[in-house]
Every structure is written in C-alpha cells, then in structure tokens.
C-alpha cells in the first residue's frame, strides 16, 4: 500500500556537495570534520554521511549515531563530541573505532584505568571561553603528558576548542583565539578551532581541521543573512500539502484559542504539518509558507498535525497543492527570524514523527 506522506524533507545532495566545496575553497589546506550530530542537523545522518565520501571525518554527539554510521558502512574517522561517560561506553568507542573529544577529568581517569587493545585518537578539548565543555588552558600541559603516556592513545593528540560567538562577537572570538594560541603553541600536533562562522570570517582559525556544521546544510551561521547570500545552497526542502480549503466570514476566528480573527471574508487552507512534525508551536500569525509562487501567512495557532494559512494571494487554490515550509523558495533563515528561533533549531527539529528515507536520482527524501 502506498501512503501519501504528510511532510516531505527532500535532501539535495548536489547542494550538499556545493556547500562542502565552498568549505574547501575557504579552508584549502584544512581537513574537514563534517558535523553530522543531531541526525545530520535533521537531514538524516546516513543521507549526509553517505553523500560525503570526500569528508576526512564526521562528528556525532551520541554513540547511537556513531553506531548507525558504522552499521551503514561509513569507514572514515568518526568523532564522538561528548566522548564516553563510563568504561562500558569506552569499550563501545573502541569497538566502533571512534575518535573521542576529551573534555572532562573523569574521562582521563577512565582512560588511565583501562587497558585497550586497539589505539584510539583523542581530541583534547580546551575551554577558551565558552565554558560549556573542555579543560582550562592551564591544564593542557599536564593532560598532554598524561595522555601521551598511555600506550593505546594514538600519537598526535589533537588539540581543539570551540567558539561561543564567532557569528557576531569579534572581541570575544579574538580573545578565544589568543587563549588557544597561548595554550597550544608549544605543541606540534593537529589543531582545530573553526565552526561554520569562523570558517567564513576567521581564516586564522582554519588550522589542520575545520568543523563545519550548519553551512554544509546551506544555512547561514549568522543572523540577518541567508545561506544563499553567503553563496551556500539550501540542502533541505521541507514541504507538505493542502488537505482542505474553506471560506470564512469577516469576524470569524481560526484554530485553538481563536488567536486569529478574519479582518475580511477570507479563504484559508489547512496544511498537514504541525508541531508533531517538528514545526514550531510558537510560530505567530503571519509566518510565511510558499504556495505556487505566493507567500501565504499562517493564521491561528499551530496545532499538532495542522496549520491554517491565508490563501488570499492565490487565485484558484486546490486541495492537494504542494506547500513549501522552507527550502530554496523560502529561506529557513527568514522563517526562523519571524518565529524568533534559530534556523539550527528549525532544521534539526524536523521529523520527530517516525520517518523513512528513500533515494532516487541522488535526491533523498525524508518522509513523515
């Protein structure tokens, strides 16, 4: 039985490759650790990793994600950004042949108490000012020598840090760069600093490895500008369709809590996407949808499965018409700024319903 999908996220492999090449053109001599955590920022982790055979490695946040990639047959290095939390997880890391980001003293102790039979590569996470993960810069020397003493730690320990505000605060970012340089300049080993915003704006941070996330997906890391304006191409095209059209009279209201009342006789359409599909519940009246070349604003509260849009701009709407939620026709950055959420959050939230992927003509579809 062929069921119609309510929501389709098309993932454009050519756009992904275009964005990957953009990263390479900005950071020519750096290796690329492609960030595919968060299920490939909502795009499907296998879709993304299998489409980037040229990436030097991938980074995931959970062992489950690493497992899925290895099961699929991904051979490149895979780094676990959270590292491991106990001995059992360390054994999984060894079994899956993962790199680990080391950010907490407990992890170093667990390593020192283990006797691994295969080598693992560690990325020593230096906290240069984000104060989320990582070690104080003054601890680098001691940790470096303790880790070097372990027989199963692959030589050339990698040193890395992560920026808190590379997308908008140059004073803070320059300070983090200075702190990292101060803590690591004495070590002749691979280094990594740059996320997407730093790849674009801070060439000095490119170092041996860059770690692009959001820009690979064609989305801007900086607010006030779209990925397209930065020369990127949107990878995700999220669409749904109209399941009902109705005429309502001036003064009638739509949806839960009657948050929108028609200022004039209106035609509205019901689109089969809601917060159960990852669409933000908080989207206000007026959030844009795209239908056949026209922008149609939402009216009323987003419900679990549906949202109403004003079809006034469309001359003869029909049930079944495709509606684009975001994609090349309607930048996710624009939707995000109206909803007051980050575009990272919007794309990553897609597909909380059970979903599957298909591959045809190099276009992958994620359906829910």
Ligand X SMILES: *Cc1c(COP(=O)(O)O)cnc(C)c1O
Q: Which residue stretch of 144-152, 214-222, 302-310, 311-319 sits at the interface with ligand X (rule: CB under 6 A)? A: 214-222
Residues 218-257, one symbol each (x = binds ligand X by CB under 6 A, - = not), give ---x------------------------------------
- Binds ligand X by CB under 6 A, chosen from 107, 196, 266, 272: 196
With respect to ligand X, which residue has the nearer C-beta, 173 or 240?
173
Quote the Cα angle for 186-187-192, to 5°: 115
213 binds ligand X (CB under 6 A): yes
288 binds ligand X (CB under 6 A): no
Partners of 268 in beta bridges: 246, 310
With respect to ligand X, which residue has the nearer C-beta, 232 or 242?
232
Q: Which of residues 67-106 bind ligand X (CB under 6 A)?
A: 81
With respect to ligand X, which residue has the nearer C-beta, 131 or 249?
131
Q: Which of residues 122-161 bind ligand X (CB under 6 A)?
A: none
Please state, as a whole number, how many other Cβ atoms lie within 10 Å of the Cβ of residue 53: 9
Catalytic choice (13, 20, 22, 37)? 37
Q: 185: exposed, middle or buried (C-beta count within 10 Å: 0-12, 13-18, 19+)? A: exposed
Q: Which residue stretch of 111-119, 209-217, 251-259, 264-272 sits at the interface with ligand X (rule: CB under 6 A)? A: 209-217
DSSP letters for 269-315: EEES--GGGT--TTPPTT-EEEETTEEEEEES---SS-EEEE-TT-S
In angstroms, the CA 314 to CA 302 distance is 21
Q: Is residue 79 within 8 Å of residue 58, measured between CB atoms? A: yes
Concerning whether 37 is annotated as a catalytic residue, the answer is: yes
Q: 303: exposed, middle or buried (C-beta count within 10 Å: 0-12, 13-18, 19+)? A: middle
Partners of 122 in beta bridges: 100
Number of residues binding to ligand X, judged by CB under 6 A? 12
Tell the residue number behind the tokens 């050519």, with chain if given: 14
162 binds ligand X (CB under 6 A): yes
Nearest approach, Cβ of residue 314 and ligand X (Å)? 35
Residues 32-51, one symbol each (x = binds ligand X by CB under 6 A, - = not), give ---x-x--------------
Cα dist from 13 to 101, 118, 221, 235, 254, whole Å: 28, 35, 20, 7, 39
- Binds ligand X by CB under 6 A, chosen from 120, 214, 254, 330: 214
Which residues of the chain form contacts with ligand X (CB under 6 A)? 35, 37, 81, 162, 195-196, 211-215, 221
């Amino acid at each position: 039985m062929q069921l119609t999908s309510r929501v389709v996220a098309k993932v454009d492999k050519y756009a992904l490759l275009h964005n990957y090449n953009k990263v390479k053109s900005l950071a020519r001599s750096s290796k690329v650790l492609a960030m595919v955590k968060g299920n490939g920022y909502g795009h499907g982790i296998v879709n993304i990793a299998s489409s980037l055979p040229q990436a030097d490695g991938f980074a995931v946040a959970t062992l489950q994600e690493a497992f899925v990639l290895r099961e699929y047959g991904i051979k490149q290095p895979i780094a676990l950004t959270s590292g491991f939390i106990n001995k059992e997880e360390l054994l999984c890391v060894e079994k899956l042949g993962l790199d680990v980001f080391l950010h907490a003293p407990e992890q170093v102790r667990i390593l020192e108490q283990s006797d691994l039979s295969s080598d693992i590569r560690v990325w020593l996470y230096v906290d240069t000012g984000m104060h989320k993960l990582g070690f104080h810069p003054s601890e680098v020397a001691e940790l470096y020598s303790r880790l070097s003493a372990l027989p199963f730690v692959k030589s050339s320990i990698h040193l890395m840090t992560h920026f808190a505000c590379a997308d908008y605060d140059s004073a803070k970012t320059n300070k983090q760069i200075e702190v990292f340089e101060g803590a690591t300049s004495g070590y002749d080993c691979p280094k990594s600093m740059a996320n997407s915003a730093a790849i674009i704006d801070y060439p000095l941070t490119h170092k041996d490895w860059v770690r692009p996330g959001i820009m690979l997906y064609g989305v801007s890391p900086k607010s006030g500008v779209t990925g397209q304006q930065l020369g990127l191409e949107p990878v995700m095209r999220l669409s749904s369709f109209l399941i009902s059209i109705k005429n309502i009279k001036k003064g009638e209201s739509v949806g839960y809590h009657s948050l929108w009342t028609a200022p004039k006789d209106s035609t509205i359409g019901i689109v089969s996407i809601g917060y159960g599909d990852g669409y933000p519940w908080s989207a206000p009246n007026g959030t844009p949808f795209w239908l056949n070349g026209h922008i149609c604003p939402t009216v009323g509260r987003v419900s679990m499965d549906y949202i109403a849009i004003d079809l006034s701009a469309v001359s003869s709407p029909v049930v079944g018409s495709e509606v684009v939620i975001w994609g090349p026709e309607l930048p996710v950055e624009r939707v995000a700024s109206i909803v007051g959420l980050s575009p990272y959050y919007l794309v990553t939230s897609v597909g909380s319903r059970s979903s599957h992927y298909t591959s045809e003509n190099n276009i992958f579809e994620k359906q829910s």
